[in-house]
Structure 1
Amino acid sequence: MDDYARKIFVLDTNILLHEPLAIYSFQEHDVVIPMTVLEELDRIKDSKRDVSRDARVAIRALEDIFHDATPEQISAGIPFTHDGDHKGTVAIFADYTIKEMVHAFADKAGDNRILNGVLYLQSHYAPREVVLVTKDINMRLRAKGAGVYKVEDYRSDQLIDDVKLLSKGFQQFDGLFWDRVGECQTESRGRATVHTLPAELFEAPYLNQYLLDDGDDFAGRIDSIDGETVTVKDLGHERLMHRQAWGIHPKNVYQGMALDAMLDPDIDLVILTGPAGCGKTILAMAAALELVIEKSMYDKIIVTRNTPEIAESIGFLPGTEEEKMMPWLAAVTDTMEALHKNDVCTDGSMKYIFEKANIQFKSINFMRGRSIQNAFVLLDECQNLTASQIKTIITRCGEGTKLVCSGNLSQIDSSYLSPVTSGLTYIVERFKNFEGSANIYLNGVVRSRLAEFAEENM
């Protein structure tokens, strides 16, 4: 690749916080790290924010590249590798020496310096392409308005271009399913009935995908795929609707599929997506209590979630880690109250259940380095996590642990994430063909008619 074909990528701070080793994604091109980015990483690495570890990892990665380099070499760019086609470089650019061209937003001095640096590089290296890479949507808009020709998001972990293409975990057939099927091989495997069907019946089938028809008669789940044939486990629509956990029965077939997946001991990861009020949390907690207390399949329940601003504020809250976490896990305690609202003494029942099920509330910040054995783990509000953050939790799960990830992609709070770049979207697509996982989109709001109207009309 000649010099003019190589692009110059300028990375914003949020790229290195989102993916600390992002510099290695551009090895055939030239990467520029503005000095302002290093200053911001330095401030963040010593903070108590949940991204401080990512800042330290990014700094160490840069140190590994620059440790023996002279100031002149660092400015000119250090090669990533000396062999193959990867002839790109990574450099540090002293953006604070550039005369200001962008003056807007006095409280955004760091962003202004980065934009000024990009405009300088764009002019200095023309006609080579200079690309600003940032996950900040407003920064992308400001850059374009200031005259930066190329501005991009970082999408190495984006598997789909439109959230409408996200797998829902089931395929619904028009009409009756068996009207489509000619001859098929049917056999009994223990208590289960399985059918071997031609693959051409299905649209892009994958393991543990649920199958439904419009006649409310057939319900199945893909058990295996072998070239031209697909083996389907017959669940039966009526049996699916009669699944129950901790006294909770499904209110629609989507909840029935979710309960079926969570109660199946052969499925280690269940991903629940859907609108607010579709029953994600209450179904997960009901399944957890059923499996821990009634069936003794797991030793404890661990509930964790992303905690915005927790690093700054958790220290000022009184009590233990569990007590500090309670404001962020109110949805779970609300769910527990709903599950035991008809008990003679709701508070007494909840205290007993919390002790009996060994329910623990944990912050994601304190999950690193752990190995969780024989536990039912509920990771709530996944839509606000990056793929690397969710990976941190999944890789904590040891032998005999089941993980349920839930979230609503229309309620993303992070300014750096969108529905297609959310870690929740990433794991739905990445684990689609893993035999130990299932994903269900819970269609329909069952919380109340008020919630249903709001979801459909607001």
Structure 2
Amino acid sequence: MTEKHRKYYLLDTNILLHEPLAFLNFDEHNVIIPMVVLEELDNIKDRHKDVSREARVAIRSLENALKDATPEEILAGVPLARVQGNHQAEGRLAIYPDYQLKQTDSALNLSENDHRIIQAALELQKSKNGEKVVLVTKDINMRLKAKGAGVKCVEDYRTDQLIDDIRFLSKGFAEIEGDFWSHVGEVTSVQEGRETFHEVDQKVLPTVFRNQYVIDEEEQFAGKVVAYDGNYVRLHDIGFERMMSYRAWGIQPKNIYQAMALNALLDPTIDLVILTGPAGSGKTLLALAAALEMVIEQKLYEKIIVTRNTPEIAESIGYLPGTEEEKMAPWLAAITDSLEVLHKNDESMESSLNYIMNKANIQFKSLNFMRGRSIQNAIVILDESQNLTASQLKTIITRCGTGTKIICSGNLAQIDSYYLTAVTSGLTYIVERFKDYPGSATINLNGVVRSNLAQYAEENL
């Protein structure tokens, strides 16, 4: 591609915090980093925040790319092809001296960093003689302000986006119309101990993944995909009634979706269970009930670690009093609420909760302090994971060592982050990345079971 047809991508700070090596992901196009972005990275790198690591990595990576260049070359653009590593970047990387910008009659106040970046995009738009200049930011409000200020091309960073529409996200199960067996021609069935397996033509299930559940509308079949080879699909016939009879810590499924979730949660061969669905569908309650069952009754694991990302307004939990568990309590009220539901009929609920907390060794941890740990023989419940990026989820999943099961739950309709949408959420990313991994299962819990009021609100508000 000629230099004339290459685009210029101007990166906001949050892009490098989201992915420190993002500047290498624009193929043959040129990348420009405003000086104010370097200032913001410098301010963030020493803070006690989870993103401080990303800021340090981004600074080191930029320094590595520009270390042998002269000041004139850095302003003009340094070839990215010379940067070592696994990438296909063939454009140039430049630093834009936005400190030279002067206040104009526009509404942009250049004392604000976001406005300096937007003004830099406007100046580049003028100076590049009609060549395409794109401002890339994950801040939705900044995208709106940039367009209002006259920036012609403003985009989100989508390199880690695996789907374009949340409607195409894997649900973890296939629901067959009518009676499942009416769609099946030839079938080979085998009995292995108490379990029955069927091999059916893959035309019956054209889109298939391992550990994908298969149910039908007439409640005649409920099974799980255990293998496939392009011609045939091997199904474990679990049985509709059998799945609906599962129990975990006194909890029984209220619908087939919860039954599939319990099957995955109670299966020790599945190391990662991803639960998605609306508020009130039972994600947290099922995860906690299954965890207590496997730790206390079955003794398959030694402890339960509950964690979630703290809101951006309080990324540092240090200002709260008490131990780490006590500091995390306000953010993990959903877990304590679920514990109360599980023991509401006990003679002394408070005594029961204290006993269970000690017996199951339940620990509340902040995600911001999980980096560097190695978690062994535990169940990790990661609540509200829709607010996490792919790199943050990678941080926690890679902490899981031998004999550890992780349960990620979240509602993609309740994203609180300024920088994430349903299609760019880390939860969406891992659903797609792990949907065919033999040690994982995804269940979308259709239907609100919390109350009639909650269900009506979910459907109508």
Bin the TM-score by the shorter chain: over 0.9
Structure 1: any 5+ residue segments left out of the alignment? Answer: none
- Is residue 354 of structure 2 the alignment partner of residue 356 of structure 1? no
Q: What is the correspondence of 1:377-456 to structure 2 with a 5 Å cutoff?
A: 377-456=380-459
Partner of 2:174: 171
Asked if structure 1 preserves the Cα contact closer than 8 Å seen for 2:108 and 2:119, the reply is no
Task: For residue 308 of structure 1, report the CA deviation from its aligned partner.
Answer: 1.2
Structure 2: any 5+ residue segments left out of the alignment? Answer: none
Partner of 1:51: 51
Task: For residue 251 of structure 1, report the CA deviation from its aligned partner.
Answer: 0.4
CA deviations on 1:8-27 (whole Å, 9 max, x unpaired) are 11001111111111011024
Q: 1:432 to 1:101 in 2, by over 3 A?
A: farther
Partners in 2 of 1:174 and 1:435 — Cα distance? 26
Q: 1:25 to 1:102 in 2, by over 3 A?
A: farther
CA deviations on 1:201-228 (whole Å, 9 max, x unpaired) are 0131111111111111210111101121
- Is residue 347 of structure 2 the alignment partner of residue 341 of structure 1? no
**Which has the larger displacement, 376-385 or 123-132?**
123-132
Of 263, 269, 272, 2:266 maps to 263
Partner of 1:113: 116
Partner of 2:368: 365
- Is residue 258 of structure 2 the alignment partner of residue 248 of structure 1? no
Partners in 2 of 1:2 and 1:149 — Cα distance? 22
- Is residue 189 of structure 2 the alignment partner of residue 186 of structure 1? yes
Partner of 2:37: 37
Partners in 1 of 2:132 and 2:180 — Cα distance? 54
Asked if structure 2 preserves the Cα contact closer than 8 Å seen for 1:27 and 1:80, the reply is no
Task: For residue 311 of structure 1, report the CA deviation from its aligned partner.
Answer: 5.3
Task: For residue 338 of structure 1, report the CA deviation from its aligned partner.
Answer: 0.6
Partners in 2 of 1:85 and 1:440 — Cα distance? 36
TM-score normalised according to structure 2 size: 0.96
Partners in 1 of 2:318 and 2:66 — Cα distance? 36
- Is residue 250 of structure 2 the alignment partner of residue 231 of structure 1? no
Of 159, 162, 168, 2:162 maps to 159
- Is residue 354 of structure 2 the alignment partner of residue 329 of structure 1? no
State the one-letter code of the partner of 2:21.
L
Aligned-residue Cα RMSD (Å) equals: 1.6
Partner of 2:64: 64
Partners in 2 of 1:31 and 1:5 — Cα distance? 14
Partner of 1:21: 21
Partners in 2 of 1:413 and 1:32 — Cα distance? 29
State the one-letter code of the partner of 2:184.
V
Partner of 1:73: 73
Partners in 2 of 1:32 and 1:107 — Cα distance? 19
Asked if structure 2 preserves the Cα contact closer than 8 Å seen for 1:274 and 1:408, the reply is yes
Asked if structure 2 preserves the Cα contact closer than 8 Å seen for 1:99 and 1:116, the reply is no
Asked if structure 1 preserves the Cα contact closer than 8 Å seen for 2:25 and 2:88, the reply is no
Partner of 1:3: 3
TM-score normalised according to structure 1 size: 0.97
Q: 1:441 to 1:78 in 2, by over 3 A?
A: same
Task: For residue 28 of structure 1, report the CA deviation from its aligned partner.
Answer: 1.6
Task: For residue 105 of structure 1, report the CA deviation from its aligned partner.
Answer: 5.7
Q: 1:403 to 1:108 in 2, by over 3 A?
A: farther
SS in 1 for 2:3: coil
State the one-letter code of the partner of 2:166.
V
Partner of 1:275: 278
| Paired residues, number | 458
Asked if structure 2 preserves the Cα contact closer than 8 Å seen for 1:49 and 1:310, the reply is no
Partners in 2 of 1:334 and 1:104 — Cα distance? 48
Q: 1:108 to 1:364 in 2, by over 3 A?
A: farther
State the one-letter code of the partner of 2:9.
F
Task: For residue 190 of structure 1, report the CA deviation from its aligned partner.
Answer: 3.0
